[in-house]
Structure 1
Amino acid sequence: MPPEQTAETLTPPAPTSHGRYRDVFAVREFRAVFAAHLLSMLGLIVSEIALSVLVYDLTGSPLMSALAFALGFLPYVVGGTLLAGVADRFPARRVLVVCDLVCAGCVALMVTPGASIAVLLTLRCCLAVVSPVFAGTRMATLADVLGDGDLFVLGRSLLRITAQSSLLVGYGLGGLLLTMVTPRHALLITVGTFLASATLLRCGTRHRPARARDGGSALVTDSLKGAREVLADRRTRVLLLLFWVPPMFTVAPEALAAPYADDLGVGSTGLGLLMCALPVGTVAGELFAGARLRPAARERIALPLVCLTPLPYLGYALRPGLATSLLLLLVSGAGSAYTLGLDQWFVRAVPEGLRGRAMTLLTAGLMTVQGVGMALAGVAAEFAGVTATVTGAGVLGTACCALLAVQARRTEGRDGADHHVTGR
């Protein structure tokens, strides 16, 4: 670590510097953001499990239980488009704290005695509407806390790694927790995690003014206008698609893990391994790229990795056994290291006044396309079978990613020009 940096660094290094993960943790505000992210992620995951179990206990319907879980994806597009302006029109710390308090309030209402199924599902939708606003605001704030250079990329990487790890740990802890307490008591615990996250963000980050002025327009109008401005720029539009398109195809094996495990006859243990392989590969790939590669190298490999990420799914055409399937998923997950290069391009391409809305749109689109990808994989598997569907996802995904990579090359070098010329 350079001698001018201390354990309580407040000002991040210059954007051109090469950082390390330990340099990110040296920034005091990031430590608060990171801890709050971990708490809110675990709280959200446990609440999803507890709510789905609670709905099943109340209705006895697997469909209603699955619907309670699926509603975590669908309303993202609403919050990400109609409420995106919140991220830029209000001070970031206030937005983050209020979002956590809203989530805590929604979960607290879920445990109210006599709450109907309609109320529970409505509150679940409210959580999903708030989530992209919170995530987009936090992503934009990272650029303020860490600068828009390498530390921003590494900070984003750490939050993604935490999210993937939380999925692996959270589902296990949630299941274990529900063996000891009722679903309603588990929901009460998640209220505490959201409140703790709000406290960390309020006390651990400093106040910063809003990025954009109100301008007198309604929030929804401003949000839609911001989305149009973000999507109107060709470079930014291509980068958004590069974030969105690969996951839409790579979620196919995850969506079809249960029937595939049944086809292989590997039982619940095999199913668990199939569900874990992709996130484990993702964490390993991000850690390697973040710790071992310099920023220029991450940007050089970004587009090749985008094209290669769906490619291992072609191996499903050979009807592999469990071990080979796990290897294919691990390799595909490791390819997700392309996001480190895309993060740097995206933060350079988006003007600061639109950063919150752009990040919120990115988050909402990412969650939405994953939900769409899972649904499409399920429909395709009904007609073509699991192996043919995953293989097809590999073929189509690779072709789409290659086309997007060509477009990204054509717009390369315009990040700085777009920012200064358009002023958007």
Structure 2
Amino acid sequence: MSTPVDPASPAPPVASAAPVTAGTGAGPAAGPAAEARSGYRAVFAVPEFRAVFASHLTSMLGEVISQIALSVLVYRISGSPLLSALTFALGLLPYLVGGTLLAGIADRYPARRVLVVCDLLAAGLAAAMVVPGMPVAALLALRCLSAAIGPVFSGTRAATLGDILGEGDLFVLGRSVIRIVSQSAQLAGFAVGGVLLVAVAPRTVLMITVVTFLGSALVLRFGTRRRPARAAAAPGRPGRLLGSSLAGTAALLADRRIRALLLLSWLPPMFVVAPEALATPYADALGLGPAGLGLLMVGMPVGAITSEVLVGSLLSPRARARLTLPVAVAAMLPAVGFLARPSLVPALVCLMLAGAGISYTLGLDQWFIEAVPDHIRGSAMTLMTAGLMTTQGLGMALAGVAAEFWPVHRVVAGAGVLGTVCVLLVVAEVRRTARAAG
């Protein structure tokens, strides 16, 4: 995790340029000076970011592996598919609680301290799951506590990237790298976790995740700089943590521009996850075996990783800003293709195209950090993360409920149509707030 920086120590040099309004009228983009310095190589040239990257890679692999191991452990103890599935659901649902009630932590305390403590708590909770004889209810409760920590950690880290990389294009590309790592870790983590569970017991695998969280804490403690708490200079903040968190959330949602950008970050993923959530019944309807299902499950992550790398590497900040809104809408459209009940290969193409739509967030990240006041940036990033995870979980649940009444391919196509309408409404609001902001 990362800590606030020593105020006497200047931040590492970052690209800075006067913002330029994008051609879409949706928000500012970085100017030519920033474009000249943009690129993933420039991001990795910052030593602190390399530490954050190593920490995220380590802890993300541990998190994915622990999900599989805990699911298997719960199933072996209880014999219940429902309780086993709950271990995954409980990784999403507490995000809303943690992201609203604990968001103030990200701004009230030094960032590095928050990040390291979150990693240590995650390690302690994973270690508690290893205790022999731990009942299923206790395991699920530990999973809830671990998930509630997630948005605080993610929001604090995202805000710290602004301190490490500045608020220009390097910040956008740094956030892109974090997303790429998350998608890649899902692909690698599930594979590694499956292999480990063949060789060793689930509790042994959970002990490995304890080591990954401890390793992440060490990297952040000694690889990042100390920075003061953001909220120290913020006027009129309530003294208590809960009041501070709720006041920060209310202030963010009361701002029309920030609210529109938050909705733009939440709604597309909420609808895009429908085909992924229903991949298993869809594969069954087509008569596909485990190999076919596996291919469908990797479609979105592969599309997301590919688009992030290409858009971040090949397009300038101004070009990415112009594409933000069209791509956000276009991400909904591949799901409509499921109305034709495509076979394996066309369905896989649709999933990859839907995953590629994640590249709209590169432009969105820049607009968001420019719209949010610095003293509540940590709370804003925490709220964005919590809302993103919650809406995805809600989207998966609603898709599953709808599939109880209608054919899977029609539910997926319907999600694409409804998502297109909703995102178009949000896009119109984003444009209006951009014009109002001048």
* Corresponding letter in the other structure for 1:229: A
- Which one of 410, 426, 429 corresponds to residue 407 of structure 1? 429
* Corresponding letter in the other structure for 1:128: A
In structure 2, the CA distance between the partners of 1:216 and 1:230, relative to structure 1 (3 Å rule), is closer
* Corresponding letter in the other structure for 2:277: A
- 1:216 & 1:255 partners in 2: Cα distance? 41
Note the alpha carbon deviations across 1:84-106, whole angstroms, 9 max, x for none.
Answer: 00000000000000000000000
Q: Does 1:358 align with 2:360?
A: no
| Corresponding residue for residue 4 of structure 1 | none
| Corresponding residue for residue 57 of structure 2 | 38
Q: Does 1:395 align with 2:395?
A: no
- 1:267 & 1:399 partners in 2: Cα distance? 34
- 2:72 & 2:323 partners in 1: Cα distance? 43
Could you say what secondary structure the match of 1:108 adopts? helix
Runs (5+) with no aligned partner, structure 2: 1-10, 18-30
| Corresponding residue for residue 323 of structure 1 | 345
- 1:157 & 1:193 partners in 2: Cα distance? 22
Note the alpha carbon deviations across 1:370-413, whole angstroms, 9 max, x for none.
Answer: 00000000000010110010000010001111111111111115
* Corresponding letter in the other structure for 1:343: D
Note the alpha carbon deviations across 1:86-140, whole angstroms, 9 max, x for none.
Answer: 0000000000000000000000000011211111111100110000000000000
- Which one of 54, 63, 75 corresponds to residue 82 of structure 2? 63
In structure 2, the CA distance between the partners of 1:338 and 1:85, relative to structure 1 (3 Å rule), is same
Note the alpha carbon deviations across 1:294-351, whole angstroms, 9 max, x for none.
Answer: 0000000000001110111111111111110011111111121100000000000001
Could you say what secondary structure the match of 1:11 adopts? coil
| Corresponding residue for residue 5 of structure 1 | none
Q: Which one is further off, 215-224 or 20-29?
A: 215-224
Note the alpha carbon deviations across 1:116-170, whole angstroms, 9 max, x for none.
Answer: 1111111100110000000000000000000000000000000001000111111
| Corresponding residue for residue 98 of structure 1 | 117
- Which one of 348, 363, 366 corresponds to residue 370 of structure 2? 348
Percent of aligned pairs with the same amino acid: 60
> Structure 2 matches for 1:208-357, cutoff 5 A?
208-213=227-232, 215=237, 217-357=239-379
- Which one of 114, 132, 144 corresponds to residue 125 of structure 1? 144
**RMSD (Å), alpha carbons:** 1.2
The answer to whether the 8 A contact 2:127-2:207 is kept is yes
The answer to whether the 8 A contact 2:238-2:247 is kept is no
| Corresponding residue for residue 50 of structure 1 | 69
* Corresponding letter in the other structure for 1:396: L
Q: Does 1:170 align with 2:189?
A: yes
What is the CA-CA distance between 1:11 and the residue it aligns to? 2.0
| Corresponding residue for residue 158 of structure 2 | 139
Could you say what secondary structure the match of 1:384 adopts? coil
Please, what TM-score do these two structures have when normalized by structure 2?
0.92
* Corresponding letter in the other structure for 2:111: A
Note the alpha carbon deviations across 1:173-200, whole angstroms, 9 max, x for none.
Answer: 1101111110000000000000000000
Runs (5+) with no aligned partner, structure 1: 1-8, 418-424
- 2:102 & 2:68 partners in 1: Cα distance? 27
* Corresponding letter in the other structure for 1:14: S
- 1:235 & 1:180 partners in 2: Cα distance? 52
- 2:73 & 2:351 partners in 1: Cα distance? 32
Aligned residue pair count: 408
- 2:230 & 2:83 partners in 1: Cα distance? 41
Q: Does 1:149 align with 2:151?
A: no
What is the CA-CA distance between 1:250 and the residue it aligns to? 0.6
| Corresponding residue for residue 222 of structure 2 | 203
- 2:293 & 2:146 partners in 1: Cα distance? 28
* Corresponding letter in the other structure for 2:41: R
* Corresponding letter in the other structure for 2:372: V
- 1:80 & 1:179 partners in 2: Cα distance? 36
| Corresponding residue for residue 421 of structure 1 | none
- Which one of 6, 14, 17 corresponds to residue 16 of structure 2? 14
Runs of 4+ in 1 over 6 A off after TM superposition: none
Q: Which one is further off, 330-339 or 143-152?
A: 330-339
- 2:290 & 2:131 partners in 1: Cα distance? 34
The answer to whether the 8 A contact 2:307-2:358 is kept is yes
- 1:184 & 1:81 partners in 2: Cα distance? 32
- 1:284 & 1:193 partners in 2: Cα distance? 27
- 1:161 & 1:414 partners in 2: Cα distance? 33
What is the CA-CA distance between 1:216 and the residue it aligns to? 5.5
- 1:349 & 1:204 partners in 2: Cα distance? 29
- 1:381 & 1:69 partners in 2: Cα distance? 20
| Corresponding residue for residue 6 of structure 1 | none
Could you say what secondary structure the match of 2:219 adopts? helix
The answer to whether the 8 A contact 2:238-2:244 is kept is no
Could you say what secondary structure the match of 2:145 adopts? helix
Note the alpha carbon deviations across 1:43-72, whole angstroms, 9 max, x for none.
Answer: 111111000000001011111101112100
